[in-house]
Amino acid sequence: MRLGIIGLPSSGKTTLFNALTGEALPTGQLVTGRIEVHSATVNVPDARLDRLGLLFHPRKTVYAQVTYSDIGGVDKGVSEGALAGPLRNELAQMDGFLHVVRAFENDLVPHPYETVDPARDVGILDAEFLLSDLIAVENRLERLDQDRHKTADKATHAREQAVFERLQAHLTADKPLRDMEDLTDEEIKALRGYGFLSLKPVLIVLNTDQPTPPALDYPHRRSGVAAIQAQIEAEIAQLNEEDAALFRAEYGIEEPTAARIIRRSFELLGLLSFFTVGDDEVRAWMLPVGGTALDAAGTVHTDFARGFIRAAVTPFDDLAAAGGRFAETRAAGKTRMEGRNYVVRDGDVIEVFFNV
Ligand SMILES: Nc1nc2c(ncn2[C@@H]2O[C@H](COP(=O)(O)OP(=O)(O)O)[C@@H](O)[C@H]2O)c(=O)[nH]1
Ligand SMILES: [Mg+2]
């Protein structure tokens, strides 16, 4: 899973990237007239997995992972319809976005629009994504119109045209595609290849220098708002745990914000975690919400899905309460045998029985 860190110039994208990944990319660099992408993969923090590690003493503990890409090159001119093709192509490959918005005062860092105004800045990039999607939708509609007489499969053609007309109406009304409630999962899947930017989930990240962040209203689906003191967190990310705790106390930062943002971006992508445990390895896996036991089996190993017989499922809380003893959870009826269509819940510990 890959999340793109986007935002206006000097909003703190690279600073946030450093805070989340522990990298030390140079900040304060203006990227103009080209695209610059830096990526790093991080573990998704999970206290439950930490606990399972303590209970099972495996040789290794493997976290779910998310990749962050710092995407520089969104110029100020973006508000003049300047989201160029190569940039759009880069953005289209992302599974979702962290949209960094400047909420810090710093006279040494010029703001491309002079004043600090998070709501305005969110609107600028959102409008650009909408416009970019609208152009893509209208190009497709034009194409469909040209192919009208050539196509052999009239029904499919009509269906696709109807979907794109719905997208067009929605975008023309200035609404991001992720707000469309009447798109079925099937339709969303079919649209994936187009990489529509306003269809992707987004976490607005207010980059503030205050312990209490400004309020921002962002009433959209598959979206969220978070705040971080990115500059301080980026410095903390370079420290060992002990020094980091002291540093946080000094700045009144109550919990590791970077860890919370990583966790939230994972949830935003519509993913849940399930676990596998053993002497060798304790591991968190990600699965789209709604995924079945068979999907989970296939995530772990294709053979598990091919030869799937059933899955023993134990909720994490029950296993932790039993001190990791399956004999106990089985005796108490907390470990259930489930078939292939069982819908996996966040925190399920799963053992797959299979035969190939
Ligand atoms: N005072 C203050 N400065 C910040 C903060 N975040 C970033 N900066 C500074 O703002 C400038 C731009 O940050 P950078 O991460 O490079 O922004 P980008 O252009 O979006 O990648 C750098 O000089 C940072 O040091 C912050 O929270 N507080
Ligand atoms: Mg940068």
* Nearest CA-CA partner of 97 in 3, 11, 196: 3
pLDDT of residue 129: 93
- Ligand 1 and 15: CB distance under 6 A: yes
Q: How close is the Cα of 105 to the center of ligand 1, in Å?
A: 10
Helix, strand, or coil (residue 194): helix
SS (H, E, C) 239-277: CCHHHHHHHHHHHCCCCCHHHHHHHHHHHHCCEEEEEEC
Sequence-distant (≥ 6) Cβ neighbours of residue 350 within 8 angstroms: 274, 275, 276, 293, 296, 297, 311, 312, 313, 344
- Ligand 1 and 257: CB distance under 6 A: no
pLDDT of residue 76: 61
Point out the ligand 1 atom lying closest to the alpha carbon of residue 15. 15
> pLDDT tens across 98-117, in order?
999 999 999 899 888 889 99
pLDDT of residue 241: 86
- Ligand 1 and 89: CB distance under 6 A: no
Rg over alpha carbons for the chain, rounded to the nearest Å, is: 23
How many angstroms separate the Cα of 277 from the Cα of each of 51, 178, 283, 298? 11, 36, 6, 16
Q: How far is CA 338 from the centre of its chain?
A: 29
- Ligand 1 and 206: CB distance under 6 A: no
Distance in angstroms (rounded) separating the CA atoms of residues 197 and 217:
20
> pLDDT tens across 28-57, in order?
988 777 889 999 999 999 999 999 999 999
Distance in angstroms (rounded) separating the CA atoms of residues 1 and 187:
21
What the chain holds in terms of domains, given with CATH numbers, is: 2-45+63-113+199-268 (3.40.50.300), 290-354 (3.10.20.30)
**Residue 341: what residue type?**
N
Identify residues whose C-beta is under 5 A from ligand 2, the ion.
Answer: 13-14, 72
Point out the ligand 1 atom lying closest to the alpha carbon of residue 8. 20
Which residue's CA is minimally distant from atom 22 of ligand 1? 28
- Ligand 1 and 231: CB distance under 6 A: yes
Residues facing residue 274 across a β-bridge: 285
- Is the separation of the CB atoms in 211 and 252 below 8 Å? yes
pLDDT of residue 356: 86
Q: How close is the Cα of 86 to the center of ligand 1, in Å?
A: 25
Q: How close is the Cα of 123 to the center of ligand 1, in Å?
A: 20
The ligand with the least distance to the CA atom of 213 is 1
pLDDT of residue 25: 96
Q: What are phi and psi of 47, to 5 degrees?
A: -60, -30
What is the chain's pLDDT, residue by residue, as a tens digit (356 residues)?
Answer: 999 999 999 999 999 999 999 999 999 988 777 889 999 999 999 999 999 999 999 999 999 999 999 998 877 655 555 577 888 889 999 999 999 999 999 989 988 888 999 999 999 999 999 999 999 999 999 999 998 888 888 888 999 999 999 999 999 999 999 999 988 888 888 898 899 999 999 999 999 988 788 889 999 999 999 999 999 999 999 999 899 888 888 888 777 788 889 989 888 888 999 999 999 999 999 999 999 999 999 999 999 999 999 999 999 999 999 999 999 999 999 999 999 999 999 999 999 999 98
Q: Between β-strands 336-338 and 308-315, what pairing exists: parallel, antiparallel or unpaired? A: antiparallel
